[in-house]
Amino acid sequence: MNTVRLAYRDEDRTPVIFCIKEMARRYGVDVEVLLIKPVKEYEAALFDNSCDVLIEHLEYLYPEAARGKKITMFCAPSIARGAELVVRKNVESVEEIRGKTVAARASGRPYQLTLWLRMMGLERDVKVQVISDDEVGRWGQWKKVVSGECVATFMSPLYLPNALAAGLKVLSVPDLPAVAHYAQACLSKFARDNSELLKNYMKAVIHAVCLMIFKKEEALKIVMDEPMRRMKITDPREMERQFDLIVKAFQLKPYPTAQAIANTFEMGTAEYGPADINPLTLWDLHWVKELDDEGFIDHLIAQLKR
């Protein structure tokens, strides 16, 4: 089997990663799963040959490309940020946020909150307080809402239970289009030299997404094994809850949208430095397009729906 070294940084990604790994065997690909921490090491991984493919946040690659690095982004299984707006129970509408302070997580693309506020017409009327996990715990910015320092915060739905138990609620709002979790990239040289391998790997990515959507019990057998251990989850019900939230964000055909690319490009330049490039130059979707045109995706969907 040919090997793809797949790097990630956050254990929350492992349910998808290990479904990809399992499906890849069907297409003659061995996926070697690599956890790379901390952030600097992860962001250097493509360039120091620590991995072949990244599955994690990719926006920092735009400034790298502007500095001359040749990078290929090739799929986007999720094109929305997938965060929930958490507020105090007396907040009934987005308008009640105007003139107040919203808490933003220091890691995980804090600039996306600015983009969402702009989308909602609130950018100039809301103060953003950036709070690190070191201060409040992982995804613990909701504590600033409970204390009254902030009126709201955005959270990964995976970490909602503690915030809800503390008396907060989710306010339904439009999501921000973005190239979100599970998007993938490699060096352009790797893509050129391994085009057939990457096509087979893309089959595995699409198969994994479809499996998780249409064959939940089969996918859960994979997820309840190594991913559950890596995520340090002991209750199968909690693992299933997180699985359902991951699947909720998927699209069956992993094309990015123009708006998702534009927003992600702006995040990258705001947080990592300017990039005087056309963001579309990094994207090569011909593997997805070929599989789509050949009927592979539609056939797989029909097969797994039975």
pTM here?
A: 0.92
Looking at domain 84-171, what is its CATH homologous superfamily? Periplasmic binding protein-like II (3.40.190.10)
What pLDDT score was predicted for residue 229? 98
* Sequence ranges of the domains in the chain: 2-79+179-305, 84-171
Beta-bridge partners for 13: none
Q: Which two tokens stand for residue 296?
A: 């592979």
For the chain of 306 residues, list the mean pLDDT of each consecutive stretch of 10: 95 97 98 95 97 95 97 97 92 95 89 93 94 94 96 94 96 94 97 98 98 98 98 97 95 97 96 94 98 98 95
What pLDDT score was predicted for residue 276? 95
What pLDDT score was predicted for residue 81? 85
Contact 241, 233 (CB under 8 A): no
Place of tokens 């809800």: 164
Contact 46, 71 (CB under 8 A): yes
What pLDDT score was predicted for residue 240? 98
Closest Cα partner for 249 from 79, 85, 108? 79
CATH of domain 2-79+179-305: 3.40.190.10
- In sign, the C-alpha dihedral spanning 180, 184, 187, 193 is negative
Q: Are strands 84-87 and 152-155 parallel, antiparallel or unpaired?
A: antiparallel
What pLDDT score was predicted for residue 96? 95
Local structure of residue 177 (DSSP, 8 states): B
- Inter-axis angle of helices 296-305 and 195-214, to 10 degrees? 30
What pLDDT score was predicted for residue 283? 98
- Asked if the domains 2-79+179-305 and 84-171 are classified in one and the same CATH topology, the answer is yes
Q: Where are the alpha helices (DSSP H) in 127-215?
A: 133-136, 142-146, 160-165, 188-193, 195-214
What pLDDT score was predicted for residue 110? 85
What pLDDT score was predicted for residue 108? 74
Q: Which two tokens stand for residue 163?
A: 């915030």
